[in-house]
C-alpha cells in the first residue's frame, strides 16, 4: 500500500466491474488504510490526483476545525459530546465529477471514543454511524468554507 503523498493516476483501478463499477485506489493515510474513489470516471488523471492531495492535506491542516464542526453537528444526537481530532477515523474519500471535471469531495469517517452517556440518542447515531463531510470544488480548488455535514448508517 502506497503512502498518500505518492498518489498517481496509475494507482486507480476499476473495482466491482460486474456490479457498480467504481474507480478506486487504496493509500496509507494517518497510519491507516484509506480508500479513494472517483465518481463517474473510468480513468484518473493528474487533476483528480491533485484534488485528492488537496483534500487530504486540508483534512490534516483543518483537523481541529473538522472536529469542532463534527462536534457541533453531533449535539443533536449526542448532547454534550466533545470530539477531538484524534477521534476522527477517516476511511474513505470520494471525488465527484461532472464531464470529467472535479466538482466536489466527500470524506467518510467514524467518530471513535465514548458512547456511554445515557443522554445520547444511540438509535440515531452510534459507533457504527458514518459522518459524511462534503466540500465543493471549483476550478480545481476546494472551497473549505462551504462544508456540508451529515450522518448515515448506509454503510453498515
Residue 39 inside a domain? The answer is: yes
Q: What is the pLDDT of residue 156?
A: 47
Residue 104 inside a domain? The answer is: yes
Task: Report the C-alpha dihedral over residues 116, 118, 80, 60, rounded to 10 degrees.
Answer: 30
In the three-class reduction of DSSP (H, G, I as helix; E, B as strand; rest coil), residue 41 is classed as: coil
What lies within 8 Å, CB to CB, of 40 at 6+ separation is: 96, 97, 98
Q: Where does residue 72 rank: exposed (0-12), middle (13-18), buried (19+ CB within 10 A)? A: exposed
Residue 31 inside a domain? The answer is: yes
Residue 16 inside a domain? The answer is: no
- pLDDT, tens digit, for every residue of 29-81? 999 999 999 998 889 999 999 999 999 999 999 999 999 999 999 999 999 99
Cell matching residue 144: 473549505
Domain that holds residue 38: 22-152
Residue 14 inside a domain? The answer is: no
Query: pTM score > 0.85 for this model?
Result: yes
Residue 93 inside a domain? The answer is: yes
Residue 2 inside a domain? The answer is: no
Q: How far apart are CA 97 and CA 70, in angstroms?
A: 25
Residue 139 inside a domain? The answer is: yes
- pLDDT, tens digit, for every residue of 83-131? 999 999 999 999 999 998 999 999 999 999 999 999 998 888 999 999 9
Q: How many separate domains does the chain show?
A: 1
Amino acid at each position: 500500500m502506497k503512502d498518500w503523498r505518492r498518489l498517481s493516476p496509475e494507482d486507480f483501478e476499476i473495482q466491482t466491474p460486474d456490479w457498480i463499477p467504481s474507480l478506486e485506489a487504496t493509500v496509507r493515510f494517518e497510519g491507516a488504510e484509506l480508500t479513494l474513489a472517483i465518481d463517474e470516471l473510468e480513468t484518473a488523471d493528474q487533476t483528480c490526483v491533485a484534488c485528492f492531495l488537496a483534500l487530504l492535506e486540508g483534512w490534516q491542516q483543518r483537523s481541529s476545525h473538522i472536529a469542532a464542526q463534527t462536534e457541533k453537528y453531533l449535539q443533536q444526537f449526542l448532547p454534550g459530546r466533545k470530539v477531538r481530532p484524534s477521534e476522527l477515523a477517516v476511511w474513505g474519500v470520494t471525488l465527484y465529477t461532472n464531464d470529467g471535471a472535479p466538482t466536489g469531495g466527500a470524506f467518510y469517517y467514524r467518530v471513535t471514543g465514548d458512547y456511554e452517556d445515557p443522554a445520547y440518542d444511540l438509535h440515531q447515531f452510534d459507533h457504527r454511524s458514518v459522518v459524511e463531510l462534503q466540500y465543493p470544488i471549483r476550478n480545481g480548488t476546494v472551497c473549505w468554507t462551504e462544508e456540508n455535514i451529515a450522518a448515515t448508517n448506509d454503510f453498515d
